[in-house]
Structure 1
């Protein structure tokens, strides 16, 4: 019998970190012969359920949701039960998940954010298993009485090669231009002004891949308009693979991140990175990844003048050893087995 797994998130199929990890988890579970159904309120899920989003649900939605749950052997909830966001149906969702086999995947540390975390949040249940992507997150959840397993974000060890020259032509750049890619959306904690300053000091073209969110549009327009270097904003028709191929430097000066995929992506695409000053990044350094801090623009400039490819080789080897699908998928399947052992119905869920 093939087990049916629901992967549940607010959105699916997009470039944001949660959607990307949902797709990766779906691929791993399907590789283990599981029937995976991605459920979300927006994006391109297999099934769209609007009560997973900020708008009030249609009257028939709760029944559709309960039918999905009753047909599932395992439910994996991505970040919906992590941050106290504007989700009108949250109490109802928690109630319908109680007593079921559930993996609660936390992509963020709720207590890192300025918004107060209400009592009893994140919710917990005896049959649930909580998953976080860093040891710092594991310690934070433990401080609040929640035991969590660590499953780092996972990556394909050989990412799709993008068309460097074609992408740079679309951006209006030639081979001599230094392209500084900021592979993220624009919100305050992404520190766009710092990223622009670094690009200016390097004499490079600043490229912000993602859109402004959370009301940051006006601030972003002012920052980009005042830049003393050339600026590109948005991917257009390009993919992230083409963006990494086109880039010469990755800039990532975030102040807070739940994980920080660009540190690993830069390593796998063999690009130097500057940034990584947020707390969780210390775990990447402990595993051996090396990058330039935001205060080391001069050192990066010297490296670019005489690149030492041993740094890129080293980082790629560390990334593959620690964060590739082959390294992380067994950790995910261990959690799936733990949830299976918690089920009260013998032989209902077997891995």
Structure 2
């Protein structure tokens, strides 16, 4: 049986890249690959020290080479895209040169101001295929002379409904509490101040799911401490339960490579307030009806009298364009075109 490997900084965790990587792993297994995972952190099959975020020296080249020696197809999730460990990216690129590999790109450096000076990523090799998660990034790759394929993130669009009572009991909130969930890590681009302001304006309880990263701990503590609304800062697993428990999803990010929560909100029939980051506008072209942070009067009116037609429309769009079946078909087409089907 052909063996495939998912390679990244960390895997099996709750961050967005880990979630997408887990879905790709499952789909590649369904297609016929025997899958293994390779990373420096998380629940992985092959731990390779030095692959992790902000590790100064990178992995031992021989150790990484051994970890992928029996691999027929490597899928590199963002490690050769965002410069969080350039020595690791260089080692991975050198080791995989001339071998079948999909470089799955979520965050190229030029899309972040603090990484704009980095020009060596992404690496390229004629043997590889590049996959990006939006048209905007595909156009930017083309401007840099790299051909790529757009495969939007996929979701279990037909999964079971969540348990509202169970999750609200876990959070310690009553059924009549207006609960606004912000299902993100706490980092600057997620725009925590705007999310809190939305909850304050709507007189809702603000529920932040993720922990602080990128040195945001002190800022977050101050923001939550000064919030003029009830605050819950309790990470839980990303399941339908979080959407069942919430009355509203807030997602006022200033930048996202994709942004899973608005699509998840559509799947599980929750209204969503979405910031005007570029890829959100691209996704909205499919027909999603989201609310603007600048039009909270419309949100309040919806909460008072829900528009079931809006929820029906959003769910139908998610099921048509963002299902796991659609991602699987796109992957099969990519593998077939490269001659890599098992």
TM-score range, shorter chain: over 0.9
Structure-2 residue corresponding to 1:328: 327
Deviations 1:147-176 (A, max 9, x none): 110000010112343221121122221111
Quick check: 1:282 aligned with 2:273? Answer: no
Question: Does structure 2 conserve the Cα–Cα contact (< 8 Å) formed by 1:52 and 1:87?
Answer: no
SS of corresponding position for 1:295: coil
Question: Is the counterpart of residue 202 in structure 1 residue 202 in structure 2?
Answer: yes
Deviation readout 1:309-333 (Å, 9 max, x if unpaired): 1111110000000000112211112
Query: Match of 2:219, SS?
Result: helix
- What are the residue-to-residue correspondences of 1:311-326 with 2, within 5 Å? 311-326=310-325
Q: Is the Cα–Cα contact under 8 Å of residues 183 and 262 in structure 1 kept in the other structure?
A: yes
Aligned to 1:345: none
Q: Secondary structure at the match of 1:303?
A: helix
Distance 2:218 2:72 in 1: 46
Give the direction of change, closer, same or farther, for the CA distance of 1:56–1:85 in structure 2 (3 Å limit).
closer
1:222 matched residue in structure 2? 222
What corresponds to 2:162 in structure 1?
162
Deviations 1:89-145 (A, max 9, x none): 332222111111110000123211012243332110111110001111101111111
The corresponding residue for 1:101 is: 100
Distance in 2 (alpha carbons) for counterparts of 1:123 and 1:160: 40
For the residues of structure 2 that align with 1:96 and 1:117, how far apart are their CA atoms? 25
Asked if 1 retains the 8 angstrom alpha-carbon contact of 2:110 and 2:118, the reply is no
- Pairing 1:235-274 to 2, within 5 Å after superposition: 235-236=235-236, 239-274=238-273
Q: In structure 1, what is the Cα distance between the partners aligned to 2:121 and 2:16? A: 22
Aligned-residue CA RMSD in angstroms?
1.7
- The answer to whether structure 1 residue 180 and structure 2 residue 186 are counterparts is no
> Are the equivalent residues in 2 in contact too, given 1:102–1:339 (CA < 8 A)?
no
Aligned-partner Cα distance in 1 for 2:72–2:157: 30
Q: Cα deviations across residues 46-66 of structure 1 (Å, max 9, x unaligned)?
A: 11111311436798x533422
Cα–Cα, structure 1 residues 7 and 283, in superposed 2: closer, same or farther, change >3 Å?
Answer: same
- C-alpha distance in structure 1 between counterparts of 2:57 and 2:141, whole Å: 31
Q: Which aligned pairs between 1:328-347 and structure 2 lie closer than 5 A?
A: 328-340=327-339
SS of the aligned residue for 2:285 comes to helix
TM-aligned CA deviation for residue 33 of structure 1? 1.7
Report the number of matched residues. Answer: 340
What SS is found at the alignment partner of 1:282? helix
Is the CA contact (8 Å cut-off) linking 2:185 and 2:212 kept in structure 1? yes
Q: Note the alpha carbon deviations across 1:72-98, whole angstroms, 9 max, x for none.
A: 111110001111223433322221111
Distance, in Å, in 2 between the alignment partners of 1:58 and 1:263 is 35
Q: Does 2:50 match 1:26?
A: no
- Following superposition, the deviation at residue 71 of structure 1 comes to 0.9
TM-score normalised by length of structure 1 = 0.93
- Alpha-carbon offset, residue 263 of structure 1: 1.2
**Offset of 1:239 from its aligned partner?**
4.8
Describe the SS at the equivalent of 1:103: strand
- TM-score for both structures, normalised by structure 2: 0.95
8 Å CA contact retained: 1:127, 1:339: no
Q: What is the alpha-carbon distance in structure 1 between the residues aligned to residue 308 and residue 272 of structure 2?
A: 13
Q: Using the TM superposition, give the Cα deviation of residue 40 of structure 1 relative to its aligned residue in structure 2, in angstroms.
A: 0.9
Q: Cα gap change, 1:117/1:81 in structure 2, threshold over 3 Å: closer, same or farther?
A: farther
After the TM superposition, which residues 6-155 of structure 1 pair with which residues of structure 2 at under 5 Å, given as runs? 6-53=5-52, 54-55=54-55, 61-114=60-113, 115-155=115-155
Unaligned runs of 5+ in 2: none
Separation (CA, whole Å) in 2 of partners of 1:65 and 1:329: 28
